Amino acid sequence: MSEDTQSPCYRVGIAYNLKHEKEGEPEDEQAEYDSISTIRTIAGAIEKTGCKAVFIEAREDFPEKIKKADVDFVFNIAEGKGGRGREAQVPSILNLYSIPYTGSDETTLCIALDKGIAKKIVKSRGIKTPVFFIWKNNETDIPSRLRFPVIIKPVSEGSSKGILGTMLATNRNELKKLLAEKWARYRQPLMAEEYINGREFTVGIIGNGKEKRVFRPMEIIISPDANPDGSRIYSFHAKTNYERYVKYECPARLEQELEEKIIRVSEQIYDVLECRDFARIDLILDEGGNPYFIEINPLPGLAPGYSDYVMLAENNGVEYDELIRLILNSALKRCGMKTV
């Protein structure tokens, strides 16, 4: 094989945040962070491409670590530390040092993590989303025409963090009580959203531009025993006990026209929010067959055998090592670098 056709041997840094669980903390406190086994599996997949994987945990000393690591590229799955802009921390530092990386940039990550802002942008393009309002404090007015039940969730969390315990309010008094309880726990603005009791789907996308691939939708079917209120909400408890409470159907049982509609809407959301390389979109289908945008995760989990994005890929014929390679190559190509 000539030198020109050989696969490049990049030093690829993996930027990540690990779970460092503390005794007595709430069970969903570190829901977004990864285990070391996930990082090692990603590293193994990267090294199978001929690249060298370099572990770089995104703690307070990340700027010093990344400067010393001498990497050509970064595979970013870091969630960041604190605040609604936390997912932008690592991309911003990498941009400062002109180090290319996988995934969406800091602007898209900030917008997507704030569910309210993301929904406003998506809605402005004619895509349906449930009626909602953002509760910031006791001075926030509750809309008089709000239809119950209403689901309450922190506005800037992922991995079902905050979707735990009692989540639904069936009247204004319950809503006020639930807002106070969630505020005391999460200390951030809350989203109150009209609850659509319909079929729930998640859609994975990989790639950019004309080379984007949209995975066929996966339906998430929740047992009513999963939550104390009997709701079929994909809560933190349901997700962490998925073998008991959740059935995943991929590809989902949908008529072709409806599947194409869900795929089309998902791709529109991906493009509207200017996502790059990979993302996952969650939607609810109402009784009339209308898909409603719930949220997007442009930094989806990659835990083998657990994360929805990984399940989507596998059920669409993309095994784990190939998935990591495709994400890496999508980003390398976007950055004008040779693929592996």
Residue 24, pLDDT score: 66
Contact 283, 292 (CB under 8 A): yes
Residue 25, pLDDT score: 64
Residue 98, pLDDT score: 97
Residue 159, pLDDT score: 66
Specify the range with the lowest mean pLDDT, choosing from 22-36, 45-59, 259-273, 288-302: 22-36
Residue 21, pLDDT score: 72
User: Confidence class of residue 29 from pLDDT cuts 50, 70 and 90?
Assistant: low
User: Confidence class of residue 157 from pLDDT cuts 50, 70 and 90?
Assistant: confident
Specify the range with the lowest mean pLDDT, choosing from 144-148, 158-162, 286-290: 158-162
Residue 3, pLDDT score: 43
Each residue's pLDDT tens digit, 228-265? 888 888 988 888 888 999 999 999 999 999 999 999 99
Domain residue limits, the chain:
3-102, 111-128+196-331, 132-194
Residue 2, pLDDT > 80, answer no
User: Confidence class of residue 76 from pLDDT cuts 50, 70 and 90?
Assistant: very high
C-alpha distances in Å from residue 32, one per residue of 24, 40, 150, 155, 309: 18, 17, 24, 14, 14
> What percent of the chain shows pLDDT beyond 90?
76
Is the CATH number 3.30.1490.20 carried by domain 132-194? Answer: yes
* 70-99 mean pLDDT: 95
Residue 137, pLDDT > 90, answer no
* 117-144 mean pLDDT: 94
Q: pTM of the predicted model, to two decimals?
A: 0.93
Residue 120, pLDDT score: 97
Residue 227, pLDDT score: 87
Residue 239, pLDDT score: 86
Fold of 3-102: Rossmann fold (3.40.50)
Residue 129, pLDDT > 50, answer yes
Each residue's pLDDT tens digit, 168-227? 999 999 999 999 999 888 889 999 999 999 999 999 999 999 999 999 999 999 998 988
Mean pLDDT over all residues of the chain?
92
Give me the sheet containing 52-57, strands edge to edge: 52-57, 11-16, 73-76
Residue 5, pLDDT score: 55
Residue 281, pLDDT score: 98
Residue 283, pLDDT score: 98
Each residue's pLDDT tens digit, 96-125? 999 999 999 999 999 999 999 999 999 999
* 69-75 mean pLDDT: 98
Residue 6, pLDDT score: 66
Contact 183, 154 (CB under 8 A): no
Assign domain 111-128+196-331 one CATH number from 3.90.79.10, 3.30.470.20, 1.10.580.10, 1.10.10.1110. Answer: 3.30.470.20
Residue 315, pLDDT score: 96
Residue 158, pLDDT > 80, answer no
Residue 19, pLDDT > 80, answer yes
Residue 150, pLDDT > 50, answer yes
